[in-house]
Structure 1
Amino acid sequence: MGVLLVPKWQPGMGVDVLPDVYRDIVEVVGDAPGPVRAKQIVPRIGLPAETGKIEGTRSKVKRLVERGWLDEDSPGLFTPSRARTTDSPNSR
């Protein structure tokens, strides 16, 4: 069900099409100075750093990778999607 809420990224598409928590994740990863782990994202989106919250966030981040919003260059290290950052001059 969650996959349907996260559309596959396409050129010109902004983060405003994402549900709030997914938008927050994309913005946190985009604002980070380098690759980030799920456990680093959790407190920045207002969740307690508990195992269940970290695992839930990790699954959301992986979904964003699958749908083209983020990249995972190394296992567990997430960065903004190169396709999104090079294609969309209007990105925030």
Structure 2
Amino acid sequence: MTALTELEERLAQPGGAALRTELIQQLAALEDRLRGQMAASLPRDEFANATALAQAARAAREVLETWPVTGPPGQTPDLQSLFASSRSKP
């Protein structure tokens, strides 16, 4: 399979399984935090944003849960550092 993104490349490298596990946990925590905020009565505009973000986090987690990875566990970044590095590229 040809990698199209930096994340796909990193999942295919040694430590990809650990990266996938860490990202799944972070996405689940993000979704839980957003759903908790939604349950705490957010203003209408913030509720819509929180709903969209929670759905995106769930969708990303579901994709990662089915993504094939190989390799021994290794160091894994958090979501913020992963996305920050992709935003800083030209």
**Shared fold, TM over 0.5:** no
Compare the two structures and name the one with the higher helix fraction.
2
Compare the two structures and name the one with the higher strand fraction.
1
Give the structure-1-normalised TM-score.
0.36
Give the structure-2-normalised TM-score.
0.36
Higher relative CO (CA 8 A, sep ≥ 6), structure 1 or 2? 2
